[in-house]
Amino acid sequence: MLFRPAPFVSKRRALAEQQSGLVRLLAFARSRARLIVADRPATTFADVAGVDEAKEELAEVVDFLKRPQKYSALGARMPKGLLMVGPPGTGKTLLARAVAGEAGVPFLSISGSEFVEMFVGVGAARVRDLFEQAKRNSPCIVFVDEIDAVGRHRGGSLGSGNDEREQTLNQILVEMDGFDTHTNVIVIAATNRPDVLDKALLRPGRFDRQVMLGLPDQKGRLAILQVHARGKPLAEEVDLDTVARQTPGFSGADLENLLNEAALLAARRDAFTVGRQDLAEAIDRVIAGPRRKSHIISVRERTITAYHEAGHALVAHALPHVDPVAKISIVSRGATGGYTRVLPTEDRNLFTRSEFKDNLAWALGGHAAEQRVFGEMSTGASNDIQRATQLARRMVTVYGMSERLGPVALAGSEESPYPAEYGEQREYSNEIAYLVDQEVRALLEEASQRAQAVLSERQAALTQIAELLIAQETLEGGQLQALLGDKGRPLPLAEAG
């Protein structure tokens, strides 16, 4: 529940506004937009479930807000800005409020999208007001929701530049740059479009820390359902575990909505408890809702993704030069359908040719599994193929790892002053270019065959892992090791989509 007091208007500004009719019009526009909202949230970390990593990252921020002296005595500078990134309804606002709640400090918030419709100059003035108020209330949190609305990279569209947006963004940056070690204000911004953000926002001393929030997996969904089932009497027969299993692709907001719909349905029946049927019907309603349609992952897609990731994991596990698999998931994150992550056991700067070759094979493991099981390929492997191709090309042109070409650097060095857009700075003949292509192709072909070979020896394990993934969506490294046995020697941090 949000407590929303009247918008804050500073005295100086209030006086100024009385001075003319035009200013009164602006004041009207402002009050309508209710830009700044301030309160002291009662929300705590206990209200946010399934995002343990994010909470861990934010624990330090909470500690800082509680005891800023401890940090300033040590000369430590806390981050000024923190960017929460995640799809809608994954708890960005909730978590920002929980940070304030945990620390017991005021929470001032403002939404980027509301600036866009304002008169020129008003947005920047509002930002000044906001930060004035924040400094008076420090330590505190300033929350800028939907920062992408004002923080899109500048100068994108010539001529049609949105002055208001730019001025607002500039003012936010000016304010943050003006913080000193005693300001004790932390700005948390939220976005689901990190790709469009102006790079200036992400520079050190601005929003240089990011907290990623994804759609919850089955365990996460259960935890979120448990949070929102508080205060809703459930019938004996209800098993939230089953509900969690039936709701892949649901965000935290969808789950909250689901329990609320179920309670409404129970009330309509004049029942005293929420029954299994209410929940089943509520799931259908939420799925049919306008917001959800695009998210629903078909059974077919889940199956393909599960085999794809199982393929990566199996090949990674089987090859000696790949780190142990830490986690496999078919919960989508942004554009990718799932991911397989391996854990490095040490920092590495040097890589051998055999290590690269194992990495290529592992990267193509998903593609190989799809081919093997479905007899065809999906677009899900395109990112893997792109990355493998880049690595193979570097092996040939930068690291001199091709026998046919020998130890010669063919690409401009990696720190070439010419970015790719200026056209490749090629300093070799067409014949050599042809050879490079052939060598890259050969490396990829070999890697693909090695992946195929691993999978053909382990068909049963492939099916078993894929089915486990379909059932529980994520597998921890320990579970995989339990199934396949320990793996030999390890290597560098990597993740395959």
Residues serving a catalytic function are 309
**Which among Mg ion, Zn ion, ligand ADP, none contacts residue 141 (Cβ within 5 to 8 A by kind)?**
none
From 33, 58, 68, 90, residue interacting with ligand ADP (rule: CB under 6 A): 90
CA angle 95, 98, 103 (to 5 degrees): 135
CB nearer to ligand ADP: give 240 or 361.
Answer: 240
Length of the chain as a residue count:
497
Longest dimension (CA), the chain: 82
CA 70/CA 443 separation, integer angstroms: 55
Among 91, 194, 214, 365, binds ligand ADP (CB under 6 A): 91
When the beta carbons of 187 and 240 are compared against Mg ion, the nearer one is: 187
Q: Does 92 bind ligand ADP (CB under 6 A)?
A: yes
- The Cα-based distances of 87 to 24, 181, 308, 472, 475 in angstroms read 38, 33, 24, 21, 23
* Between 92 and 450, CB nearer to Mg ion: 92
Torsion of CA 346, 348, 350, 351, to 10 degrees: 70
Q: What is the DSSP string of 244-298?
A: HHT-TT--HHHHHHHHHHHHHHHHHTT-SSB-HHHHHHHHHHHHHSTTTGGGPPP
Q: How far apart are CA 334 and CA 388, in angstroms?
A: 20
* Separation CA 213–CA 53 (nearest Å): 9
The site map against ligand ADP for 182-221 (x = CB under 6 A) is: --------x-------------------------------
Choice from 30, 65, 85, 93 touching ligand ADP (CB under 6 A): 93
Residue type, 492: P
* Residues in region 124-153 near ligand ADP by CB under 6 A: none
Amino acid at 180: D
Binding mask 220-259 for ligand ADP (x = CB under 6 A): ----x--x------------------------xx--x---
CB 231 within 8 A of CB 204: no
Residues of this chain, 196-235, that bind Zn ion according to CB under 5 A: none
Closer residue to ligand ADP, CB minimum distance, 254 or 439: 254
Positions 59 through 98 that interact with Mg ion (CB under 5 A): 93
Nearest distance in Å: CB 191, ligand ADP: 10
* Pick 311 or 324: Cβ nearer Zn ion: 311
Q: Is 370 in the site for Zn ion (CB under 5 A)?
A: no
The tally of CA atoms less than 13 A away on the side-chain side of residue 194 is: 18
Q: Which is nearer to Mg ion, 84 or 455 (CB)?
A: 84
Among 68, 139, 366, 477, binds Zn ion (CB under 5 A): 366
Strand order in the sheet with 185-191: 37-39, 107-111, 140-145, 185-191, 81-85, 209-212
48 binds, among ligand ADP, Zn ion, Mg ion, none (CB under 5 to 8 A by kind): ligand ADP
Measured CA to CA, the distance from residue 354 to residue 357 in angstroms comes to 5
Nearer to Zn ion, 211 or 363 (CB): 363
In three-state secondary structure terms, 210 is strand
Using CB under 6 A, pick the residue from 33, 35, 36, 49 that binds ligand ADP.
49
* Paired tokens of 68: 């800023």
**391: Cβ–Cβ under 8 A, 6 or more apart, which residues?**
356, 359, 360, 363
Only one of the segments 106-114, 141-149, 361-369, 438-446 lies at the binding site for Zn ion (rule: CB under 5 A); that segment is 361-369
Q: Any contact of residue 123 with ligand ADP (CB under 6 A)?
A: no
Count residues near Zn ion (CB under 5 A): 4
Task: Give the per-residue SS3 of 394-436.
Answer: HHHHCCCCCCCCCCCCCCCCCCCCCCHHHCCCCCCCHHHHHHH
Residue 127 near which of Zn ion, ligand ADP, Mg ion, none (CB within 5-8 Å, type-dependent): none
**Which region among 105-113, 322-330, 384-392, 398-406 touches Zn ion (by CB under 5 A)?**
384-392
> Which residues contact ligand ADP (rule: CB under 6 A)?
48-51, 86, 88-94, 190, 224, 227, 252-253, 256
> Which residues contact Zn ion (rule: CB under 5 A)?
366, 384, 496-497
